Amino acid sequence: LESSLLTQPWASVCFGESAFLAKACFRDTGYILLISDLSNVWYESADAEAVGQRSKELNKRLTVHVSSFLHRLCNLVCPLLAGQPDATTSFTCHHTADSLSLHMKSELSGLPFYWDFHCCPAPVEMV
């Protein structure tokens, strides 16, 4: 995933009231997200097991296979990075010097759909 992330272009996005540069790579086995405010760079890498666990915590009423969940996340995040955000999806952001949390709210088949990206500072070699 990290090598695929390097080939992705940076995109200018707004999460809540804050402007960032971001890039992401989604696969059936997990995802990696990189976000920068030009002063700091944060990332989250989650494998299928972590995604499955978090999806059960955040979306108790949804029971879908992890690869379907990752596909849905990709379908919500990638259009945003391409400058075509989904009007029914909202993002809120909270960041400190050592973490960035991105909360996404949407819907799936008429049910609320939530996701939290928990980002930590990116290692220098990744940046």
Higher pLDDT, 28 or 126: 28
Which band of pLDDT confidence, cut at 50, 70 and 90, is reported for residue 1? low
- Segments making up each domain of the chain, as ranges: 1-126
pTM for the structure as a whole:
0.89
Specify whether the CB–CB gap between 37 and 20 falls below 8 A.
Answer: yes
CA distance 77 to 86: 9
Quick: pLDDT tens for 4-42. Answer: 888 889 999 988 788 999 999 999 999 999 999 998 999
Instruction: Give, in order, the Cα–Cα distances in Å from 24 to each of 30, 36, 73, 81, 116.
Output: 11, 12, 11, 8, 15
Q: Mind listing the pLDDT tens digit for each residue in 67-103? A: 888 999 999 999 999 999 888 899 999 988 789 999 9
Q: Domain 1-126 belongs to what architecture? A: Beta Complex (2.170)
Reference 73, options 40, 114, 102; nearest CA is 114
